[in-house]
Amino acid sequence: MPDTYVPDDAPRIEIEDIGSNPAPRETIGEVMERRLSRRAALFGLGGAAAAATLTDQLLAAAEPAMAQAAVPMTGGPSSLTFREIPHGMAQRDAVPEGYEIQTVIRWGDAVVPEAPDFDPMAQTPEKQAQQFGYNNDFLDFRPLPQGSQNSDRGLLVVNHEYTDTQLMFPGIGAGRAGRMRATAEQSQTELMAHGLSVVEIRRQTGRWQVVQNSRYNRRITGETEIRISGPAAGHDLLKTAWDPTGNRVLGTLNNCAGGNTPWGTILTAEENFNQYFSGEAARNGAQAESYRRYGIEAQGAYAWSRHIERFDLDKHPNEPNRFGWIVEFDPYDPNSVPVKRTALGRFKHEGATHAINHDGRVVIYSGDDERFDYVYKFVTARPWNPNDRAANRDLLDEGTLYVARFHDDGKMEWLPLVHGQGPLTAANGFHSQADVLINTRRAADLLQPTPMDRPEDVEANPANGRVYVMLTNNSNRTAQQVNASNPRARNVHGHVIEIVPPGAGTSSVDHASTEGRWEIFLMAGKPGFDAGARYHRATSESGWLSCPDNCAFDSKGRLWIATDGAPSAAGVADGIWAADTQGAGRALTKQFYRAPTGAEVCGPCFTPDGRTLFLAIQHPGDDAGSTFEKPSTRWPDFAENMPPRPSVIAIVKRDGGEIGS
Ligand code: FEO
Ligand code: CA
Ligand code: CA
Ligand code: CA
């Protein structure tokens, strides 16, 4: 989902930008502001620049051990050997010399064996349900055979986050107005273009291709039957006319990023589910307050409520409570029923990535992507069983959900969201753990975590045990609201935070701990131009980035960042930037891939051998005024009658070597 402000009639769906956390906590900000004003007065620094500098100094002063561990951002070149590409904006995408882009699968391509050919002039829900969906986001490559480290054959698992009505159908017209004109059949088609795809892919004679008749190939759509499990399953607030048990739901929606588990299942994250619902109940219904905290409004962003009854809040007020969860499914079993794991909480989950704790418990990190919302982690109650896959089947139903508070001295706490503890009691409207989970945001508010600048991917780096938090931007943060972990007012470019759990860098890293430390890895934006931008000193004219969103680590522990929002925030295309996380090249970002116009880059994912980097290119051609008839690019086909198509690409090195080397 694109990220920055665009005018009302622009085609982008901006629901996720509407901060719905009404009362961000100010305490740290007040402290910072006081210190900042003093420092700014002493050194004549601007607020944001001062904040970035001061954060370093605070950390260094408060925590000598950590200051020592952190390599200063000076000197030394990057370990990455590619020649970076320049900033720009073009109809085509670009990679460095010596690399090649292969298109693996596009919107409309066949997924299940009997899928009909794609004809964008005659799309139907039935066809779409068998074809690759729209707006690919999260990607995972699960090797085949299962349990192997094969890098030439595997399952490509792909999220389809949302639909761009105006680019999918002829005659719709641009922008929000166009989107709201969708017919019943078009709304149904959009519903089928959501969810996920699983396709078997193989690399043969250097080229990645879909195996057309694989038994694994599968579509999960907005109508696939899904089970609800964990503490909130069966709760009254999850019951509907269609499902009086509160135990099953049709479909998964707005699947943004995701992750996987040590036992090989997929976790897919429901993010901006709010935008599909409409109804007066959002203004005056019994659940209006709960809706408000999730950004559910009287008029949503789609025409669905007119055509598909369950999206009408006035008829089915509990339906939205059945979205906003983490969904687990087994891609190796094409008949597996996906499960919404309510123990992991309900919010606008960006993703759900795992780390294995030293004691075998599994920790799932997840950001709530909204301005002034929070970073979470879930810790399983029991260790996972590496010898018995079936024993892990319901591991994610039991455990503790925590929300993060970042202190200005570089320390942090993880606050448990447990019914009966602290303020999470009946006195505050929480009668059970199910209540806490269904209204996770409101429960978290009471614990006073740190309101962040839109947490996107939160992912542990296996090489050093540190956890990287992509904070994409927050142009609404005022100078009064800055704090050490969100140090920039009007933060249009975002930043990256590095969490250091106890024992990070050793074999006993404690991801389950309720304590930790943190520091800022980089402040995005153009150095010397955007206040507070901060990278390695040697970062080049092409190496700065804006609006970090998804990320991945290569086998050397280097961080690969995908951006979403650079066109609006910085006037340049989104893309991929890579940097060392340790050593002399730490935070020296280099531009590796440039997206076609209108697109953001999602889902970076390496094969186990590091020789292929898969990327999901989302909403190509989604520029202001773009329509099916007149898109700003026809990437990737560039055929006259073919609209732009969100697609998964594979980037390989021409000499067959490791990406980035
Ligand atoms: Fe769907 Fe947070 O981007
Ligand atoms: Ca984003
Ligand atoms: Ca996105
Ligand atoms: Ca995202």
454-511, pLDDT tens digit by residue?
999 999 999 999 999 999 999 999 999 999 999 999 999 999 999 999 999 999 999 9
Give distance in angstroms: CA of 73 to centre of ligand 2.
Answer: 27
The number of the ligand 1 atom at minimal distance from the alpha carbon of 367 is 2
Give distance in angstroms: CA of 349 to centre of ligand 4.
Answer: 9
597-612, pLDDT tens digit by residue?
999 999 999 999 999 9
Task: Tell me if 369 CB under 6 Å of ligand 1.
Answer: yes
Mean pLDDT for 13-33 is: 40
Task: Tell me if 270 CB under 6 Å of ligand 1.
Answer: no
Task: Tell me if 1 CB under 6 Å of ligand 1.
Answer: yes
Query: What does the angle CA 377 – CA 378 – CA 381 come to, to the nearest 5 degrees?
Result: 150
Task: Tell me if 350 CB under 6 Å of ligand 1.
Answer: yes
Task: Tell me if 93 CB under 6 Å of ligand 1.
Answer: no
Give distance in angstroms: CA of 497 to centre of ligand 4.
Answer: 16
Q: Which ligand is nearest to the CA of 348?
A: 1
* Distance, CA of 604 to chain centre: 11
Task: Tell me if 271 CB under 6 Å of ligand 1.
Answer: yes
pLDDT for the residue 202 = 98
Give distance in angstroms: CA of 649 to centre of ligand 4.
Answer: 17
Element (H, E) at 517: strand 515-523
The number of the ligand 1 atom at minimal distance from the alpha carbon of 162 is 1
Give distance in angstroms: CA of 76 to centre of ligand 2.
Answer: 31
> What average pLDDT does the chain have?
90
Query: What's the rounded Cα separation, in Å, for the pair 273 and 347?
Result: 9
Query: What's the rounded Cα separation, in Å, for the pair 365 and 355?
Result: 8
The class level of CATH for 28-271+324-416+455-653 reads mainly beta
pLDDT bracket for residue 56 (50, 70, 90): very low
The number of the ligand 1 atom at minimal distance from the alpha carbon of 454 is 2
Query: What's the rounded Cα separation, in Å, for the pair 38 and 134?
Result: 51
pLDDT for the residue 175 = 87
User: At residue 27, does pLDDT exceed 70?
Assistant: no
Query: At which residue do the structure tokens 């370990």 appear?
Result: 79
User: At residue 278, does pLDDT exceed 90?
Assistant: yes
Give distance in angstroms: CA of 257 to centre of ligand 2.
Answer: 9
253-277, pLDDT tens digit by residue?
999 999 999 999 999 999 999 999 9
The number of the ligand 1 atom at minimal distance from the alpha carbon of 564 is 3
Listed by start position, the domains of the chain span: 28-271+324-416+455-653
pLDDT bracket for residue 19 (50, 70, 90): low
Mean pLDDT for 147-155 is: 97
The pLDDT > 90 percentage for the chain reads 88
| 66: three-class secondary structure by DSSP | helix
